[in-house]
Amino acid sequence: MSIDPAPAATLSEAAREIVEVGRFLSVRNFVPATSGNFSRRLDARTAAVTRSGVDKGELVEADILVADIHAPPPKGSSAETPLHLQLYRDRPEAQAVLHTHSVVAALLSNLRLPEGELVLQDFELLKALGDTRTHETAVSIPIFPNDQDIPRLADKVTAMLEKRTDLVAYLIAGHGLYTWGRSMAEARRHVVALEHLLTYELEKMKVRR
């Protein structure tokens, strides 16, 4: 059974959710230093996004900006904000987007970049991703080369999303993880599940050497 998207949020509600998820992910070292960026849809036209250059474990409400999904990012937001806004345009059901920079996501995405994807198969924890209801399946996570040209990268992501309606995440090589959800809770669950699965895949590579 699919999960209904979370309702629209006020800026205060969105800021509280973003501050809380920032602390949650920071203590797990998924967003070291000032890395990562988070957002929460406010309505069909706008989203709340994090300000650039702030430790995500120390966010306060003043660090949350309002962005028009169909306009250039607001001053002070991350250079990667267009990737969030693009996801809200391409995925109307998406209510939250989380971008993390863990060691395992950066390392494994670099190692598996030549394959263009990471295939996760037969894991019980796959049931934590989107509408997956069985471990007897394979979930492909696309891997894109890192690119300072964010609009060009966003175009590549859009092309992939058009082909993959089931997609809930992607990796940027040597950079990190992007995932989203129909609520902030679902997006956070995706981060935790995927970090566990990525760690398993990296450990498996070590064992097989």
Residue 30 DSSP code = S
pLDDT beneath 50, residues of the chain: 1-2
The pTM of the full predicted model, rounded to 2 decimals, is 0.93
pLDDT of residue 112: 95
Determine whether domain 11-208 maps to CATH 3.40.50.300.
no
- Other residues' Cβ atoms within 10 Å of the Cβ of residue 196: 14
101 is in an annotated binding site: yes
Q: Which one, of 60, 55, 50, lies nearest residue 31 by Cα?
A: 55
CA geometry: angle at 93 spanning 49 and 120, to 5°? 90
Tens digit of each residue's pLDDT (9 = 90 or more) over 34-73? 999 999 999 999 999 999 999 999 999 999 999 999 999 9
Domain boundaries, the chain: 11-208
135 is in an annotated binding site: no
Inter-residue contact 206 to 200 (CB < 8 Å): no
Residues 6+ positions from 176 with CB-CB distance below 8 Å: 35, 36, 99, 100, 101, 102, 105, 106, 109
pLDDT of residue 209: 72
